[in-house]
Amino acid sequence: MSDVAEVMGVSTTTVSNAFSRPDQLSPELRDRILTRAAKMGYYGPHVAGRVLKQGHANAYGVVFMDTLSSAFDDPFKLQWLAGFSDEIRIAGASLVLMAVAPDLQASAQALRNTLVDGIAVTWATHPIMSMARSQGLPVVAGGPHGPCYVTIDEHAAGREMGDHLRSMGHEQVCIVTGPVARPAKEPDITTWDHYVTNERPQGPWPRLTGLVEGLEPSSAVIAQATSWTRAAGAEATAAALQRLPHVTAFACAGDQLAVGVLDMIQSHGRTPGKDLAITGFDGTLDAATHGLTTVDARAREQGSRAAQLLLNPDLHPRQAVLDHHLVIRGSSSSRLSV
């Protein structure tokens, strides 16, 4: 930059403005500076150097536990990301998408290799959250974890769904959920007590505990799918139908799983909402398309609020619990015939 300034007979500030603050120069002077700089092999301030000088990157990371391609197949995450990215764009900042496995080594490497001013985790807990906080980075969690998060009342939402199914007369209910962290090899059908003891020793997911409470005194069975995808939901349903011939309802922990359940039920010649009840969770556009009863978790609003909290450390409250809505559609609206 100094060399360009010397050749052009201007100050280094003027050269800097040509790259970073073009409104400070006349178009003619800026064009001459950029042309001369390019001939000298200089194309502007190095990003890492600028970050070191300014003390911030003006970029914010979003952490996904799975691959980015899997995240783009998830309607809830896409709606969440749309809300988050809108706020980032308005602020004139940049968005960094980070696929980080939920372990300490991957988290440490991601923080070493990524220049961001803060991170948001879309769902559940992740080791990168505590590591980032220890380095002074602000973190927003997609659940009630840590000092700053955005969520809904998952337990209350699950309880409402359980109450709804019980009011429709369902006592034999299969709860379809996905793996805790990494994909599983095959679907697993187990009891609620076994699932809590062996699969979720850190404590069951609030939306599931609320669901089970709402279903009482029914006997809920867990079908743990191999992933959170539509195909995995169908596969888990096939396994559950073989093991549970008297099941009358499938309550799913996510809309994608529920759409997979619908696929499998219909392939067996049975009618959702009449022969079997199916419910989802999240309130995605797919749920509306398939007439699926679900909980609207306000994904876009959650993403928007998460970005606002990252961008503005003075914004309060730092722990936001948004309203949710139980949306009853045809997949569960018929009362069970006794």
Mean pLDDT, residues 85-103 taken together: 93
C-beta of residue 261 within 8 angstroms of C-beta of residue 279: no
Query: Residue 294 corresponds to which tokens in the numbers above?
Result: 């679900």
Half-sphere exposure of 320 (CA within 13 A, CB side): 23
> What string of H, E and C letters represents the secondary structure of the chain?
CHHHHHHHCCCHHHHHHHHHCHHHCCHHHHHHHHHHHHHCCCCCCCHHHHHHHHCCCCEEEEEECCCHHHHHCCHHHHHHHHHHHHHHHHCCCEEEEEECCCCHHHHHHHHHHCCCCCEEECCCCCHHHHHHHHCCCCEEECCCCCCCEEEECHHHHHHHHHHHHHHCCCCCEEEEECCCCCCCCCCEEEEHHHHHHHHCCCCCCHHHHHHHHHHCCCCCEEEECCCCCHHHHHHHHHHHHHHCCCCCEEEECCHHHHHHHHHHHHHCCCCECCCEEEECCECCHHHHHCCCEEEECCHHHHHHHHHHHHHCCCCCCCEEEECCEEECCCCCCCCCCC
Calpha distance 258→254 (Å, rounded): 6
- Residues 2-37: tens digit of each pLDDT: 999 999 899 999 988 888 788 888 989 989 998 998
State residue 53's pLDDT score. 59
And the tokens for 183? 């994909």
Question: pLDDT tens for residues 217-231?
Answer: 666 899 999 999 999
Q: Report yes or no: 84 and 120 within 8 Å, Cβ to Cβ.
A: yes
Q: What is the mean pLDDT of residues 189-207?
A: 78
Q: Is the pLDDT of residue 283 over 90?
A: yes
User: What's the whole-model pTM score?
Assistant: 0.81
- Model pLDDT for residues 129-182, shown as the tens digit of each residue: 999 998 889 999 988 888 999 999 999 999 999 999 999 999 899 999 998 766
Per-chain mean pLDDT for the chain: 89
Q: What percentage of the chain reaches a pLDDT higher than 90?
A: 61
What is the token pair recorded at 227?
A: 């992933």
Q: What is the mean pLDDT of residues 262-286?
A: 93
pLDDT of 332 over the 90 cut: yes
CB neighbours of residue 52 within 10 Å: 11
Q: 274: which 2 tokens?
A: 């009449």
What distance in Å separates the CA atoms of residue 161 and residue 22, rounded to the nearest whole number? 56
Q: What is the pLDDT of residues 40-92, one digit of tens each?
A: 888 876 655 655 555 567 899 999 987 888 888 889 999 999 999 999 999 99
Q: Which domains, ranges and CATH numbers included, belong to the chain?
A: 2-45 (1.10.260.40), 57-151 (3.40.50.2300), 153-297+323-327 (3.40.50.2300)
